[in-house]
Amino acid sequence: MTVATLSEVLLPAKENNYAVAGLVVLGWEDVRSYVEVAEELQVPVIIQAGPGCRQHTPIPILGKMFRYLAEKSTSPVVCHIDHGYSEEECQMGIDNGFTSVMFDGSKLSLQENIDKTASIVELGHKAGVSVEGEIGFVGYSEGKKSLSTDPEEAKKFAHETKCDAMAISVGNTHLQLNKNTNIDINDILNIQALCDIPLVLHGSSGIDYDLRRKIAQQTNVCKFNIGTELRKTFGDSLRTSINKSPDIYDRNQLLNMTIDDIKKSTRTVLENISKF
């Protein structure tokens, strides 16, 4: 079986200086494309159901869809809940076939974030599920600004929560359309000097490919979350298909026209962090 936990794909990545992509899912067409490309390249992939995805499709349905694709794949596939904001959301993921959950307590006080993350880690580990936490706050382009991760707080967080992966804020930003994010690798090295844990960068669409490779090779960052980059590919492709085919009204035909473009973008993402 190729269904994998987060730890099962991130620990080898950390040891061997590469990274695994956490790809944000919004529907069948994109998640199918992500898994197919990962299998073609024979690299692991993390398929992620974030808040927008869960708002549109219930977690029990997503769990079955993710597991169906993961169990058919010959490459490791992690079925991941991204940005769970409550124990209830994370528990629902655990109960419905997800192999990894991310609890986002980044808006809480440090101690409350630690306490709630630790509680979810205990729940997850009892069920054989990995847990990702977040320390610091990764902001949003044209929205709330980031709060950088403090290395000492990261050390305390990693030690007390015993989470399997830790998302950090070092200049990365959610929903960024342009690849102009400037990240000082020394900021990452200062964090990993105090806590030897797989690190995660949310908002990685704004990081150019060369910098992603450099970060993967030189630091303990071994998970890059990619959403906006692929969402833009889908939107641009769908818009082109509709404009070129004004007489097609069948949604399945229109959505299927996006798959080649999604797969091409996915291949670029995976090749630039999983293979050097």
The domain that holds 188 is classified in CATH as 3.20.20.70
Contact in structure between 34 and 225 (CB atoms under 8 Å):
no
pLDDT in tens, the chain (276 residues): 599 999 999 999 999 999 999 999 999 999 999 999 999 999 999 999 999 999 999 999 999 999 999 999 999 999 999 999 999 999 999 999 999 999 999 999 999 999 999 999 999 999 999 999 999 987 776 667 767 889 999 999 999 999 999 999 998 877 666 777 788 899 999 999 999 999 999 989 889 999 999 999 999 999 999 999 999 999 999 999 999 998 999 999 999 999 999 999 999 999 999 865
pTM: predicted TM-score of the whole model, two decimal places: 0.95
Tokens 């079925």 belong to 79
**Residue 104 known to be catalytic:** no
Closest residue by Cα to residue 98 from 123, 117, 74? 123
Catalytic residue among 82, 104, 164, 261: 82
Domain count, the chain: 1
